[in-house]
Chains A and B, each alone.
Chain A
Amino acid sequence: EVQLVQSGAEVKKPGESLKISCKGSGYSFTTYWIGWVRQMPGKGLEWMGIIYPGDSDTRYSPSFRGQVTISADKSINTAYLQWSSLKASDTAMYYCARSAYSGHEADYWGQGTLVTVSS
């Protein structure tokens, strides 16, 4: 069974760093892309970027390039989304999702990680 399991909810202060994770199982982790999607409170879905764990090829939405870093550790089937300095506006639910090809449909999704940034 394909599963993407994300790390738990986080509460952080502005300026702090954070790295959340997404662990894949039940499939060949290195042959599918993992994308990240933001959903701000009460709002719609926004595509942030995507990584191919097989060779770490990474692509970012222009809206998020320079704001976050996407990475993966194929030895432990885990993808990451990290911030070096959080802002209150980063408060959102973050989902990881699997795609066979970059930009194609996301067929499996993680359960989401809620990030709250507040002083």
Chain B
Amino acid sequence: QSVLTQAPSASGTPGQKVTISCSGGTSNLGNNPVNWYQQFPGAAPKLLIYRSNQRPSGVPDRFSGSKSGTSASLAISGLQSEDEADYYCAAWDDSLNVVLFGGGTKLSV
């Protein structure tokens, strides 16, 4: 059971905006930035958002991240069929001294 909690699934239609949430505690999201990873079936994860709201080069600005207190969100606007993937939040936990991953959210478009 992940200490970072994500809904197992989310869905949207093309063009819509969808938000994926990640809930944690004071020792992880409350004290450290969140990172988001995108994973397609059969492929390695890819960094999508880092330090809560930064996009790596090449990631479309349709993807955005935010964090407030012990919760974080990934927003995808202008949803496209190619966005169908699994999305994981991750953060360092100061108490456990590990990187925690959320359980993942499977996005259907």
Binding site for B on A (CB under 8 A): 35, 37, 44-47, 59, 61-63, 95, 97, 103-112
Contact = CB atoms under 8 A, between A and B. Distances in A.
B37 A95 contact: no
A46 B46 CA distance: 15
A45 to B, nearest CB: 4
Interface residues of B, number: 24
A44 B103 CA distance: 6
A45 B98 CA distance: 13
A103 B99 contact: yes
Interface centre among A95, A105, A108 (most CB of B within 10 A): A105
B19 to A, nearest CB: 20
A62 B101 contact: no
B62 interface: no
Nearest to B96: A62
B98 A109 contact: no
B2 A47 contact: no
B104 interface: yes
Contacts of B46: 109
Describe A's contact surface by its main secondary structure: strand
A38 to B, nearest CB: 10
B56 A107 contact: yes
B35 A45 contact: no
Interface string B71-109: 000000000000000001010100011111111100000
A45 B47 contact: no
Interface string B41-68: 0001111001100001000000000000
24 contacts: A35-B99, A37-B101, A44-B88, A44-B104, A45-B39, A45-B101, A45-B104, A47-B90, A47-B101, A59-B97, A61-B96, A62-B97, A62-B98, A95-B44, A103-B32, A104-B35, A104-B50, A104-B92, A105-B50, A105-B90, A107-B56, A109-B46, A111-B44, A112-B44
Contacts of B98: 47, 61-63
